[in-house]
Structure 1
């Protein structure tokens, strides 16, 4: 079998655009189906417990519900391994949980990501976590928001600066 024979066989295996539109595996999702799915995703957070040991899923879900104290409801689904999806019913609850980061379970960090677009849970990186950092022994004349942003920027991305009571 030569290269030309292989090329002919490959062409016969592919679908034309017209075939895909009519009866192929690709179907366009109707708008009335997209809207509820987009709303559900807008209130979704995916979390992964960064641990080498397998998490007790039932215990994790029970503890997280108690710690987060979500007011208007939360559905937790175990995805795979130590990965979970959190479907909030209220934006304020979701924002409060995200801003309360970092979270941990059984001495392991829970990395949270907000999915967007057409990503799959498996494609999320879980390579970031937000932390509150406190810098001590800063001279009084340097206790400004601008210097706080500068010092924080030496560590990583700065989300907010709190100067305290001064």
Structure 2
């Protein structure tokens, strides 16, 4: 989201380009306070955008997402082709959906963003999404949160790290939740420099939708 200074510069440039098509009388002063019920409504709302293929059958999309989310009470509205708003009945229900993201429709990634009461729909950045990335190949002695955080930073902005329990018979190391730039190729792994040797560790992305392996 742009800063206050950037916003003021953009508006000033727009007004200059309009010339005599606007005047100071066209400035509408609104209250500094957003009504509480609107804030609560925004808090329970997510915007979702189909990342690669915006054209989708709207009724089929809504039916599919309600089944996937196991809810019938979400209110879905289509803002434009491929851009939707989802109003949930409770904050807990919204958090459940966001926590279990990413979601996809017909192998097409749905990028979800929290609604902010001061920001128009077209100002959101839908080029980033959070994924759980499982990291395999880390030696047992180095399976600590600090190491997984450092390895996760090679993928994107680390939000959380989880180390597998040693009592888990399927112990594979751990995973990190990372905000990934969708405009960049996905990394397949990294090299751990542990002093006397280099080790290759592998990244596996959970709930990864349609993906081009040839270009990343």
What TM-score range do you get, normalising by the shorter chain? 0.7 to 0.9
> Cα distance, 1:150 vs. partner?
1.3
Bigger shift: residues 109-118 or 131-140: 109-118
Bigger shift: residues 53-62 or 102-111: 53-62
In terms of fraction of residues, the more strand-rich structure is 2
Question: 1:130 is matched with which residue?
Answer: 130
Please show how residues 7-156 of structure 1 align to structure 2 within 5 Å: 14-15=23-24, 20=25, 26-29=28-31, 34-52=35-53, 54-70=55-71, 73-156=73-156
In structure 2, stretches of 5+ residues that fail to align are 1-18, 167-216
SS at match of 1:85: strand
In structure 1, stretches of 5+ residues that fail to align are 1-9
Question: 1:6 is matched with which residue?
Answer: none
Please list every run of at least 4 consecutive aligned residues from structure 1 whose deviation after the TM superposition is greater than 2 angstroms: 27-31
In terms of fraction of residues, the more helix-rich structure is 1
> Cα distance, 1:138 vs. partner?
0.7
> Cα distance, 1:57 vs. partner?
0.7
The total of aligned residue pairs comes to 148
